[in-house]
Structure 1
Amino acid sequence: MSGAAERRTAVFAALRSLLLERPWGDLTLEAVARDAGVSRQTLYNAFGSRSGLAQAYTVHLADALCALIAETLTTHADDPRRGLEEALRMFLETAAEDPLIARVRAGEAHHDLVRIVTTDAGPLLVRVAGLLEEAARVAWPGTDPAHHAPLARTLARLALSYVTTPPEYDDGPATIAADLADLLAPR
């Protein structure tokens, strides 16, 4: 990993850690820089602002989740329904544990954060859908490729809805994932 990639990883780890302790509104770039072991100027150069840092963290989190989903789909390549169920369960559990997502869901997030996953979410949706479509293509080469893009776009939208609003029923991630997999898995 390059020095820049290591710094980004350290910054995102520091941000996550600080978000576990305090709300976004109380977080300063100075505190993130200190905990990441970089200068405040380095953060400004890399992200431009707190909003830029939040956007970069969101993309980083989305990419990491998509990589886990891709790995899960590939692990269960012989059973697309099971792979999709496991990937959705893992996503729901991981999303529930992320402090930034928790802040958004609790209504404790600054409006700039909420916009990243609501009104300004277009680029994020396109990115996630592209990653999920590629994951489906790789994991399920024997399925109809015409199914991959609509499935990926639907999953991206569903994922974003679960980021901004937790499920309205308390069936738990495993049941929700099983229900969604029954509806969406390629046949």
Structure 2
Amino acid sequence: MTPPAPTPGRQRYVERSRDAMRAAILQAVEDLVRDRGWEATRMADVAVRAGVSRQTLYQLYGSREALAQAYVLRETEQFLESVLDAVRGRADDPFAAIEAGLDAFLTGAADNVMVKAILQGPTGNELLPLVTTQALPVIQVAEELLTGVIGELWPQFLADDARLFAGSVVRLAISHVTTPTSSPETSVKDISRLLIPFVSYALGPGGG
């Protein structure tokens, strides 16, 4: 006999419960990474800290590598909110907005738990590839968020130009964070010099 299909109310309850468990798990990862680093964090540690069973943890994420990816993406989204707020705060001046966003990204990275874990971790850090050689999911999330803000604040940007700009600035910013060659202040000025001519072009006559 086929069991009855779950009601919409039941489905929403299950989804909310899973979302709450995912949030608790990723917060547990952040706490453990802050305390001991990712390399010393076991799946069993995460389950205990989050208050879920190991079975539930594996059902939701499948593997330690998948959990690391989810953690990095969650931290990326949260970190970028402060960057986007800085951009929105200078919406009246697109060129100043570029500098404000870059400054928030590069200086804020120095205090970010995930970034510290990546840059100060041991040789062979398992998180590093997720923002370098395997960074496509992170880049896509950041690019999507920045493209949306550009369209929101400066609708004269063509969609293709907004996406090209967003993808380029994200890759440049990540590179300057993971392999810095100068101070954040100098990097902000250098990247801005590179990008401002393109923004002038994309905004069109009288733009900005």
1:108 counterpart = 2:128: no
Corresponding position of 2:57 = 43
Larger Rg: 2
2 CA distance for matches of 1:2 and 1:163? 35
User: Is the 1:19–1:100 contact (alpha carbons within 8 Å) kept by the matching residues of 2?
Assistant: yes
Structure with larger RCO (C-alpha < 8 A, sep 6+)? 1
Q: Which of 189, 194, 197 is the aligned partner of 1:183?
A: 194
Corresponding position of 2:131 = 117
Map of 1:1-187 to 2, 5 A cutoff? 2-108=16-122, 110=124, 112-143=126-157, 145-165=159-179, 167-169=180-182, 171=183, 173-185=184-196, 186-187=199-200
TM-superposition CA deviations, 1:48-83 (whole Å, max 9, x none): 111111100111122223333333322221111222
Structure 2 unaligned blocks of 5 or more: 1-14, 201-208
Aligned length: 184
Q: CA deviation at 1:145?
A: 4.7
2 CA distance for matches of 1:2 and 1:162? 38
User: Is the 2:91–2:97 contact (alpha carbons within 8 Å) kept by the matching residues of 1?
Assistant: yes
1 CA distance for matches of 2:185 and 2:181? 15
2 CA distance for matches of 1:100 and 1:50? 16
Q: CA deviation at 1:175?
A: 4.1
Query: 1:39/1:65 Cα in 2 relative to 1: closer, same or farther (>3 Å)?
Result: same
Identity rate, percent: 33
TM-superposition CA deviations, 1:135-187 (whole Å, max 9, x none): 2111212345553122111112123213432x222x3x344324423432422
1 CA distance for matches of 2:21 and 2:123? 25
**Farther off after superposition, 67-76 or 153-162:** 67-76
TM-score, structure 2 normalization: 0.75
**Given residue 105 of structure 1, which amino acid in structure 2 is its aligned partner?**
L
User: Is the 1:24–1:110 contact (alpha carbons within 8 Å) kept by the matching residues of 2?
Assistant: no
- How large is the Cα RMSD of the aligned pairs? 2.4
Q: CA deviation at 1:14?
A: 1.8
1 CA distance for matches of 2:58 and 2:107? 32
TM-score, structure 1 normalization: 0.83
2 CA distance for matches of 1:40 and 1:4? 14
Please give the secondary structure, in 1, of the residue aligned with 2:127: helix
**Given residue 168 of structure 1, which amino acid in structure 2 is its aligned partner?**
T
2 CA distance for matches of 1:35 and 1:53? 14
